[in-house]
Amino acid sequence: MTSYIEIIKNSYQSYAAYLWHEISNPSWHNYFYWLILLSVAAMTLEWMFPWRKQQAKIREDFWLDAFYMFFNFFLFSLIAYNAISDVFVKLFNDFLSWFGIHNLVALEISNWPGWVQLLVMFILRDFIQWNVHRMLHFVPSLWEFHKVHHSVQQMGFAAHLRYHFMETFIYRAAEYIPLAMIGFGLQDFFIVHIIALAIGHLNHSNIYLPLGPLQYLFNSPQMHIWHHAEHLPPKSYGVNFGLSLSLWDYLFKTVYMPSSGRDEELGFEQVQAYPKSFMGHLVAPFKKLFVKTP
Ligand SMILES: [Zn+2]
Ligand SMILES: [Zn+2]
């Protein structure tokens, strides 16, 4: 037991040092500064080319979502850092060896060209995320957590990172094992994550992004707004689940874009009664799941 406490203590101490190094050393391999850069870029686009022209430049809930961006950034980097740390990898391998599994790498792709590795990782990860996202809608208890993301009523880039912290655990856990099976390292994960961050920011932005034939491959603001629409087709548990790619929705027939969607009402049934604060969002799913109301 003491060895586990020691491991946790060491890992948090080294995470604190890593985080401080990240923030005090701006560089191209620094997620913190990428988040700021991409947010400023998305905001500039929204201000220059707004899709909903009457929407305020600092929209409803902007500051709440700005807070979410940094909160979820710190949590993400904590999880990602620990997930790829030697300590966690060792624990994970020890855990597998209890079941007689000694090597999880099923497909060694490290000698493929770098860009092919990145492409494979990007596509594979996006497909895993598409499936996880569907589960977040389909499984009632998971939907309680995902509702936080869908409580956005006026769309803008910062809404991208409004989500309950439990989602970070759910997504990272679902991604980790398949990606470990093809032996990916930290650097690859970083690049793929930044690309997905940029696309996700754009998809939530108040801009119109005509993609032409590329709309069958990539998600867009005019597609993702329907994902957030309050009124969905009857009996549907959700539409347009794609994160970076729209391809999966076209392949599995979960696309729904009946009209422009620009002024569509967003949220879910009785969204007006949903908590409006960060703390309210934090506890809402737990209350719903564990506190019996008479
Ligand atoms: Zn969703
Ligand atoms: Zn969204």
What's the length of the chain?
Answer: 294
- Tell me: the pLDDT tens digits for 203-261? 999 999 999 999 999 999 999 999 999 998 888 899 999 999 999 999 999 999 999 99
Centre of ligand 2 from the C-alpha of residue 193, in Å? 16
Identify the nearest ligand to the CA of 142 by its number: 1
Q: Which residue has the higher pLDDT, 138 or 8?
A: 138
Identify the nearest ligand to the CA of 65 by its number: 2
Amino acid at 33: Y
DSSP string, 28-42: TT-HHHHHHHHHHHH
Identify the nearest ligand to the CA of 199 by its number: 2
Q: What DSSP character marks residue 161?
A: G
241 token code pair: 């689940």
Residue with tokens 């019996």: 292
Which has the closest alpha carbon to 266: 5, 34, 59?
A: 59
In terms of phi and psi (left: phi > 0; alpha: psi -120 to 50; beta: otherwise), the region of 185 is beta
Which has the closest alpha carbon to 222: 58, 51, 60?
A: 51
Centre of ligand 1 from the C-alpha of residue 130, in Å? 10
Adjacent-strand bridge partners of 266:
229
Identify the nearest ligand to the CA of 160 by its number: 2
CA gap 128, 126 in Å, rounded: 5
Centre of ligand 2 from the C-alpha of residue 112, in Å? 34
Centre of ligand 2 from the C-alpha of residue 183, in Å? 30
- Which stretch of 50-64, 220-234, 279-293 has the lowest confidence by average pLDDT? 279-293
The three-point CA angle 89-93-95 to 5° equals 120
